[in-house]
A and B are shown apart, each in its own frame.
Chain A
């Protein structure tokens, strides 16, 4: 292969031996353009690579939220289940999170929902292979554009090689091998970037991929869990709180609200062990955030109602009253707190 190329180059030297050599300035200018192209390509590849490597791996909650935005709310007009508060949307959200927790892929979840509601349940074409291909055309186009720029650059350099071969034959070989190295390095960067993107997309956990967790999504999950708990679907709410805690072990609100649900379930079943599990969660919440008023309210209520220790409960209630800013919570718990103070034989503070 190399010997035939050498023969071709030698032939070109002989054929072009009568041509006038190119001016030195022109060669330098072309070399500058060539180097400029390489700098641009490396800069772009670097930017894409950096952006790809710094893309955080989605948490289960984020994955669920992302998928929820692609699922149409069956009982709404033009809304995704992520944006809807209808009962079926809330149930689908809980189901999506549960299936993600069971390591089901996005396409498996979409296929399941499509098998029940039909293809109209999907707001994006994730369910169909052909449609998915169309969806990713822009990404493929960008990659193709990079490859095209590189190809053009090398094609132009090969033209230059032909023109300069008359008096730079030995240097050309060196440059060619250097360009080949550049080409290999450039394509390797692009390949790594693409591989990283594909692996991230299919959900493989990768290094440098677990930074920048979104608090918005966690807030959304807490809101979902509260809605479910208010609808009497405590089990689904507990699944969500547990997921939030797995994703963010420092989330005091999730610990507090999960603890409250568990203590309530334990109280209903008259199971002291379950109540204690809930109390553990409440204590963890207070340990993480000692000023989290709702955790003190829940703990105070458990101590007063389940442990029948009003004096001990007052300590928690007083911290709740000190830090609470939620008027609804205060109104809902006011009578309970006053009753506790009365049971302890202590004059209650003024509660607005």
Chain B
């Protein structure tokens, strides 16, 4: 009996140990190290014009999301915490881009999660294609000079984004 329990316990440990890391998965992209494609559009909240260029001098976290995407629901509290952490420092800006979603659903999703950063509706998917996005959530970290530093697929964490920014800052 005790041997059976031991075998099961070892198997569970092995299964859990072999599970892939789902958070902060950085992947390669032809965009890395290059100037980030410009983004411009109307803010979902204020209906004012937004451009990626207007964030120059700050790190920018671009997050492609959709209200229907489950991993987006998982990462949203982390993004909200990350935004709150950097809000007073004003060294990081965040920009949401909808992925195959309606403006009303996307706005509702952001509001219900307490997200206050600007977001743009990408109706034709042209912004997603210009960033090589396959499916949400995908997140890009852009340097203060406008260079693409990292591409992350799947849900991200506050800690993971902080770590990427620290790494980049220490290099400069």
Residues of chain A touching chain B, judged by Cβ–Cβ distance below 8 Å, are 74-75, 86-88, 90-92, 94-95, 113-118, 231-233, 235-236
Q: Are A117 and B30 in contact (CB under 8 A)?
A: yes
Separation in Å of the A122 CB from the closest CB of chain B? 13
Q: Are B124 and A91 in contact (CB under 8 A)?
A: yes
Q: Are A235 and B124 in contact (CB under 8 A)?
A: yes
> Which 10 residue pairs spanning A and B have beta carbons closest together?
A91-B125, A87-B100, A74-B134, A116-B132, A75-B135, A75-B134, A117-B132, A118-B30, A236-B124, A115-B30
Determine the chain A residues whose CB is within 8 A of the CB of B134 once the complex forms: 74-75, 88, 117
Separation in Å of the B103 CB from the closest CB of chain A? 9
Q: Are B124 and A94 in contact (CB under 8 A)?
A: yes
8 Å CB contact of A232 from B31, B123, B126, B129: B123
In the complex, which range does the number of interface residues on chain B fall in?
10 to 19
Query: From B31, which residue of chain A is reached at the shortest CB distance?
Result: A116
Determine the chain B residues whose CB is within 8 A of the CB of A95 once the complex forms: 124-126, 129
Query: From A114, which residue of chain B is reached at the shortest CB distance?
Result: B30
Separation in Å of the B140 CB from the closest CB of chain A? 12
Residue among A92, A95, A115, A116 with the highest chain B CB neighbour number at 10 A: A116
Q: Are A87 and B125 in contact (CB under 8 A)?
A: yes
Determine the chain A residues whose CB is within 8 A of the CB of B30 once the complex forms: 114-118
Q: Are B124 and A87 in contact (CB under 8 A)?
A: no
A118-B29, A232-B102 are contacts. A91–B135 as well, Cβ < 8 Å? no
Q: Does B128 contact A (CB under 8 A)?
A: yes
The dominant DSSP class at the A interface is helix
Convert B128-143 into 0s and 1s, putting 1 for each residue whose CB lies closer than 8 angstroms to a CB of A.
Answer: 1111111100000000
A118 to B132, CA, bound (A): 8
Q: Does B59 contact A (CB under 8 A)?
A: no
Query: From B133, which residue of chain A is reached at the shortest CB distance?
Result: A88
Determine the chain A residues whose CB is within 8 A of the CB of B100 once the complex forms: 87-88, 91, 231
Q: Does B99 contact A (CB under 8 A)?
A: yes
Determine the chain B residues whose CB is within 8 A of the CB of A233 once the complex forms: 123-125
Query: From A90, which residue of chain B is reached at the shortest CB distance?
Result: B125
Q: Does B46 contact A (CB under 8 A)?
A: no
Residue among B31, B125, B135 with the highest chain A CB neighbour number at 10 A: B125
Determine the chain B residues whose CB is within 8 A of the CB of A236 once the complex forms: 123-124
8 Å CB contact of A88 from B29, B31, B102, B135: B135
Q: Are B135 and A118 in contact (CB under 8 A)?
A: no
A338 to B129, CA, bound (A): 44
Q: Are A235 and B135 in contact (CB under 8 A)?
A: no
A196 to B133, CA, bound (A): 39
A9 to B99, CA, bound (A): 80
Determine the chain B residues whose CB is within 8 A of the CB of A116 once the complex forms: 30-31, 129-132
Determine the chain A residues whose CB is within 8 A of the CB of B29 once the complex forms: 118
Q: Are B131 and A88 in contact (CB under 8 A)?
A: no
8 Å CB contact of A87 from B99, B126, B130: B99
Residue among A91, A114, A118, A235 with the highest chain B CB neighbour number at 10 A: A91
